[in-house]
Every structure is written in C-alpha cells, then in structure tokens.
Amino acid sequence: TWMYIKMLGSSGLEAATAQAILNANYMANRLKGSYDVKFLGTNGQCAHEFILDINPIKKKAAKVLKEHGGSIVEADVAKRLIDYGFH
C-alpha cells in the first residue's frame, strides 16, 4: 500500500480516488433498477464502493434450488455481473 501511494504521488492518488468514486457511482446507478443499492449518502451517491441487497434473489432462488440441493450466494451474483461486463 505504501509503495502504491508513493508511486502515484499526490496528484496520481487524487486522480485514482476520483476515478474509483466515479466508477462506483456509475455501476451503482446502472444496477439500481435491478437491485436495491444499500447505504447511499444523502445525495444519493456512494464512495468508492457500494453494497447490493441480493436477499430477494436468494429467497426466490431458494424455492427452486432447494429441490436440487443448491443455493445462490453473493459470489455467484458477483461472478454473473462480471460475465455481463460489470467490473
């Protein structure tokens, strides 16, 4: 971490931080209609990361997958989002 910060320098660290915040808000807004985005600020934005509530998906899938001995976990949703270009 120290070396990363040292290599970026003050202006590089500021630019990387701004880009991370921009990317997180872009993704949160793209996913907002399909998922409940938790813990947004009073301005409706997030910082450099955000949390999706996938409990409705897990509950719905549990009914179907229970018969087959399977389940859906957070990593399954994350991997599927990557499959669709959200990364």
Question: What backbone phi and psi angles, to 5 degrees, belong to 38?
Answer: -90, 155
On the question of pLDDT at 7 being above 90, the answer is yes
Q: What was the pLDDT predicted at 82?
A: 93
Q: What was the pLDDT predicted at 60?
A: 87
For the chain, what is the mean pLDDT?
Answer: 91
- Segment 54-84, tens digit of pLDDT: 999 888 888 888 777 778 889 999 999 999 9
Question: In angstroms, how far is CA 27 from the centroid of its own chain?
Answer: 7
The pTM score is 0.77
Residue 50: other Cβ atoms inside 10 A: 19
Q: What was the pLDDT predicted at 70?
A: 79
